[in-house]
Structure 1
Amino acid sequence: MPERPHPYTAVHDEPFPELLGNIDQVTVSADGQWIAASSVWHRLSRVVVYRAADLSRAHLLTFDVEAEPIAFHPTIPLLAIGLDNGDAYQRAGGLTLFEADSGHRVDFADPGRGVELVRWADDRTLELTFLSVDLDNGCEFLTSRARAVRDDWRDLVPDALDLTAVDGPPLDPDTPVGYPDTPVRPVLQALAARAGRSCTGRGGVGVVAGLSDGRVLATRHHVALESRAPDGSPQWSVPAPSPSGGTRILVSPDERTARVVAPDFRDGSDLLLVDLADGTVLDRSSLPFPAGLCARTDGVWAIGHASGQGKGADSPEPPATRVFAADGTPLRTVRHEPADDDPVGADPVGDDAVADEPAGDAFLPLDVRRCPELLFLRRRGDVVALDPRSATERVLFTADEPLGGTVYVSDTEGPALLHGRREVVRRSFPAGEVVWRRDLGAAATALDARDGVLHALCEDGTLVSLATADGALLDRRALPPYRALSLHAAPDGTVLVGTVAGQILRY
């Protein structure tokens, strides 16, 4: 089934989402019709061209090198883009010329220099600042400046310019290079205001959750929890103790309150109880470790160490798993000592260590929405159900591969757990027997399910939907280029996708 665009509505709809909240340079064409902005993410770059009248995206250019310096020609809508691989030993780069009105693009490579700055001296002259590495002199960086002169810069072909021949004398080490130092966000905000829009840049949506009445909850940078009305208008916001924002939202069964985990500035977490009517913080606890939550459908919940690593900033002993009733009444405390071969304080290895290979005898809460049991992940992939009254632990199954995202379903084939990354596995619940396996075609970063449909956010920028009963492919939707972060199958039947750009997409 081919990928296809799919209609959606955007909650917190602001301009320039393709920049993902990270803006390096901004420039406007001489006729005022085009806005260009660059966004660099560790040598993965975007240059986006917008129509100034309505701020709609006209073009999105992607690069696997740094593409920060940009400049429009003084008379025509021709954008110069400097490229630099950032390598400290084998510097290379290039120049891209892009015509905003026609979409014509031409690329010129320089295998020995990166382009640090681009500037149009006049309508015939493009000034380039290069950076190279002198391997014979202790890998010293050399900066030079040169000019390329042409009468006509439009519709160039790849051999119209030999970039390696555009050369000039080295700059004196004491000569300022002249990097732009004007703050770029106020520029975008002014351009947005001119088009009748606002641009607050509130940050990526780490967690999103929909309520039955259509309200949307979310966490962002510096925000532990925010609420938006069904039409997307903001209702209230609870500040976070650190820039990380909230990392987990646990909504009570009656949807009156939510518990939120928000990391602090050290190695600990704040646990907040928030009234969803108005955002009042009803309770706040400070925990000396990074906390994880899990819950049952009846509201019983548990909190424990999110990684099983160490004792936390101020904890004198390994953190315990604490179990509570829906109203917050303590039910049980369970302690798990680290194993002898995995000493306290060891660091996880690799991106998947926290979620998939807990250290020692770690007992990690599994975030599984709508599950009738409290589930935990134990060493070597044991998925364990914990009885909140007796503290009895029951091993459901042992995963022979990284668990990935995990969701609970109950459909025509009975209750089951679905989990995985590139390959999704359905297991009977609670027996844990494999029922089917399906390859998603790309690794999934988040899973959720409702009403017989499993939804998976995939690293290739798609939202894949499978039938939970048999794994049949129902849909593969191409998401807009806003870099999806979080996912929730909401009670009102919509699917919510939180993005790095700050948009919340509602399908």
Structure 2
Amino acid sequence: MSAREIRLDRVLGAGPFREIGQPRAVATTSDGALFVVGGDLGWPQWHGRDVSARSRPRQGWYPVAVYRSDDLTCLHHIATRWRTNVIACHPTLPLAAIGTGAYDGGWAYEGELLLLDLTTGGTVSLLAHSREVRQLTWRDPHTLDLVLAIPCDEDEARFGSTSLACTIRRDDWDRATSGMLRMPYGEVPVPDAPRTDPAVAVGIVEGLCRERGLRWAPRREVWAVDALSDDRVVAVLEGVRLECWSVSSAETLWRIPVDGTGCQLKVLPEGRTALALTQTPSTFHGGRWTADPSVVAEVDLADGVVRALHESARCAVLVSRADGWWALRDTEHDRRAAAGQILLNPPDGGPGTTVGLGRYDLFNHFFDIRYAPDLLFLEGGAAEHWQDKWVVSVDVPDGPMRRLFPLEWDASRGRHLFGGCGAYLDDRAGPSLVHTGAVHDGAGLLPGNAFVVRRAYPTGELQWVFPADHQATALDADGDFVYVTFNSGELVILRAADGTVHARQELRVDGHPVVPLSLVRLSPDRLAIGTLDGRILVCSLAALPDLASDQE
């Protein structure tokens, strides 16, 4: 049972339509009272890390929200498995049909036809089999016209198109049940029409805000937050190299835009400088994806001035240790490239040293440890770099490597573990690492196969394990507690000594769930949490009342 209540005190980066990220489709009810908006918050992954795995994969990542037209209050919020392509509100009933889906990149055109109850917020998936829904229109209260994608690649030769039109007439749309629409649908081939341009939805959302004296600006994916000593918070996110907020007034003090995504953030020990790693989107040329090198900016925290830029040789992740040494680890996974290098950088800005460690991939090797006394990495096997991973330390300034302990703490099981985030602790139980991770399984992430673990440092002996059903996204710790967020939307506070639950709570804003991506302690009783939808939640931890005492 929770001993603390987690209270939301302030939301930084708040604004209209924040729940849906980048708008993709908009529909209005016939009376104009409600708007239904489908959006895209971005996939919870960047080039060095993936936190999309859940033990219940039917939980989606793509938002749809219902808004009241008079004040743009969000009434309902759901998440779908595929991006929204089109929305159509029923002409007489409080229902909205939502078409989702996409090509899977190799064979099938997957998606759903959802019916959203605008009164309750409940949804029903109508198609018995997964199909991408490209267009839909209510011809009358009983008739729905659809354009579906073909089921899979081999159907294109048979139909001469990837789009098939059909019409479905029913008298029971208000009593819809899951999978009630079964093939055959009477489909006929139609020419592939241009896809709905998301810019149309963006323009509608901007216009709705402008009519109400509001300004809409997109925000997504706060991948890292950190605290400064003077009640300020800094963060990196999509489109922002670094931004700084005053927690006490919820004001943005300065912001540095960037063409790309801010992925990592490290405040140097002197407290006046931050390192911010950014990455531009990959591009497709000549039949293959290519990516620009990652860039690390040294930013003056007083005024947001960029003092220097450091460009890595390729895409990279940033690793640091408590005294200010930092490193860039090459994340190139192309076998044709010379991958696996680490560039060591001293805190005084002097020349760095390059050492080799082995290939990296974003599912296996992410290992970001706060307050670490050493530069810590995960190293895989020589032949199969994703297997048999060890926690290793790379010493400075010359780069000799020490193997500390296997990532798997029970050698008899021989499990394939993924890395994660963590923190170094030195308390009454001695020096240790508390880190997160997950167990690989061919069926995906199984219940209980994610974990938070505490291990003695530098020997790796197990001290405790907290199993979880979903991937951890962020972790911070102090001498008493370990604070962990999960992609299920939950914040869990564990006792540092033994891993028992001190508090746990689903994070919500205005009653609607959010997905936390990053976290930092502001003080012993305050946290800042960055979310997938671009907000930063300032939370406080309050002791619950003693119910037994209240009853005396």
Q: Same fold (TM over 0.5)?
A: yes
Post-superposition shift, 1:430?
Answer: 3.3
Other-structure match for 1:472: 500
The correspondence of residues 405-424 of structure 1 with structure 2, limited to 5 A, is 405-421=421-437, 422-424=450-452
Post-superposition offset of 1:407: 1.0
1:423 and 1:438 in contact (8 A); partners too: yes
Distance 1:491 1:296, change over 3 A: farther
Cα separation, partners in 2 of 1:6 and 1:53, compared to 1, 3 Å: farther
- Distance change >3 Å, CA 166–CA 63, structure 1 → 2: same
Partner AA of 1:22 in structure 2: Q
The more displaced of 216-225 and 61-70 is 61-70
Query: Which of 340, 346, 349 pairs up with 1:324?
Result: 346
Provide the rounded CA distance (Å) in 1 between the counterparts of 2:233 and 2:292: 29
Deviation of residue 161 (structure 1)? 8.1
Counterparts of 2:126 and 2:521, CA distance in 1 = 46
In structure 1, distance between residues paired with 2:163 and 2:87: 21
Considering only aligned residues, what root-mean-square deviation do their CA atoms show, in Å?
A: 3.9
> Are 2:230 and 1:206 aligned?
no
Counterparts of residues 13-162 of structure 1 (less than 5 Å): 13-19=14-20, 21-39=21-39, 44=60, 45-64=62-81, 67-75=84-92, 77-82=94-99, 95-101=113-119, 103=121, 108-111=126-129, 115-122=133-140, 125-133=143-151, 138-140=157-159, 141-146=162-167, 148=169, 155-158=174-177
Contact 1:274 1:283 (C-alpha < 8 Å) held by counterparts: yes
Q: Secondary structure at 2:206's aligned position in 1?
A: helix
The residue correspondences of 1:389-400 to structure 2 (distance < 5 A) are 393-400=401-408
Whether 1:487 and 2:519 are equivalent positions in the alignment is yes
CA contact (8 A) 1:482 1:501 kept: yes
Structure 1 residues 329-348: aligned runs within 5 Å? 329-330=350-351, 333-337=352-356, 348=360
The answer to whether residue 329 in structure 2 is matched with residue 305 in structure 1 is yes
What's 2:262 paired with? 246
1:474 alignment partner, SS class: strand
Q: Percent identity?
A: 28
Query: Which stretch shows the higher mean deviation, 99-108 or 247-256?
Result: 99-108
Which residue type is aligned with residue 383 of structure 1? V
- Cα distance per residue 1:429-448 (max 9 Å; x no partner): 33433222222343323322
Q: Secondary structure at the match of 2:23?
A: coil
Letter in 1 for 2:296: L
- Distance, in Å, in 1 between the alignment partners of 2:184 and 2:376 is 64
**d(CA) in 2 for partners of 1:249, 1:136:** 48
2:446 is matched with none
CA distance in 2, matches of 1:433, 1:114: 49
* Deviation of the 1:478 alpha carbon: 0.9
SS of alignment partner, residue 25 of structure 1: strand
Give the number of equivalent residue pairs. Answer: 476
The amino acid of 2:246's aligned partner reads: A
C-alpha distance in structure 1 between counterparts of 2:191 and 2:378, whole Å: 56
Distance 2:141 2:13 in 1: 40
In structure 2, how many angstroms separate the alpha carbons of the residues matched to 1:403 and 1:449?
18
Unaligned runs of 5+ in 1: 356-365
More strand by share: 2
Match of 1:226 in 2: 243
Pair 1:450-2:474 in alignment: no
Consecutive unaligned residues of structure 2, counting only runs of 5 or more, are 44-57, 282-290, 382-388, 409-416, 438-449, 540-552
Partner of 2:441: none
Task: Write the distance in 1 (CA, Å) between the matches of 2:155 and 2:377.
Answer: 56
Change (3 A) 1:428 1:97: closer
Distance 1:91 1:501 in 2: 27
Q: Distance in 2 between matches of 1:211 and 1:31?
A: 49
Shift of 1:249: 1.6
- Partner Cα distance (1:312, 1:114) in 2: 36
Residue 188 (1) aligns with residue 188 (2): no
Q: 1:94, 1:163 within 8 Å by CA — same for their partners in 2? A: no
Counterpart CA distance in 1 for 2:472 and 2:184 is: 46
Distance 1:5 1:283, change over 3 A: same
Distance 2:471 2:299 in 1: 34
Distance of 1:208 and 1:278 partners within structure 2: 17
Distance (Å, rounded) in 2 between the aligned partners of 1:177 and 1:302: 48
Q: Aligned match of 1:289 in 314, 331, 338?
A: 314
Partner residue of 1:425? 453
The structure that has the greater radius of gyration is 1
Measured against aligned partners, the alpha-carbon deviations of 1:180-229 in whole angstroms (never above 9, x if no partner) come to 67611121122233444432003321221122222111112232111122
For the residue of structure 1 that corresponds to 2:204, the secondary structure is: helix
Does structure 2 conserve the Cα–Cα contact (< 8 Å) formed by 1:30 and 1:76? no
Tell me how far apart the structure 2 counterparts of residues 217 and 375 of structure 1 sit (CA, whole Å).
24
Mapped to 2, the partners of 1:272 and 1:104 lie a distance apart of 45
Shift of 1:156: 3.1
Cα 1:46–1:379 change in 2 (3 A) is: closer
CA contact (8 A) 2:77 2:121 kept: no
Which range is displaced more, 271-280 or 68-77?
68-77
Aligned CA distance change for structure 1 residues 429 and 62 (closer, same or farther; 3 Å): closer
Q: Counterparts of 2:82 and 2:130 in 1: how far apart (Å)?
A: 14
Counterpart position of 1:368: 369
**Amino acid of the residue matched to residue 157 of structure 2?**
G
Which AA in structure 1 matches 2:430? G
Measured in 1, the distance between the counterparts of 2:196 and 2:90 equals 18
1:139 Cα offset (Å): 4.6
Question: 1:276: Cα distance to partner?
Answer: 0.7
- Higher RCO (C-alpha under 8 Å, 6+ residues apart): 2
Tell me the distance in 2 between the aligned counterparts of 1:320 and 1:102.
53
Amino acid corresponding to residue 33 of structure 2 in structure 1: Q
Report deviation, 1:100.
Answer: 1.7
TM-score scaled to structure 2, two decimals? 0.73
- Residue identity matched to 1:495: L
Provide the secondary structure at the position in 2 that maps to 1:50.
strand
Of 525, 528, 534, the match for 1:502:
534
> In the alignment, residue 254 of structure 1 is paired with which amino acid?
E
2:191 pairs, out of 173, 176, 181, with 173
Q: What CA distance in whole angstroms lies between the structure 2 residues aligned with 1:47 and 1:192?
A: 18
Distance 1:374 1:469 in 2: 25
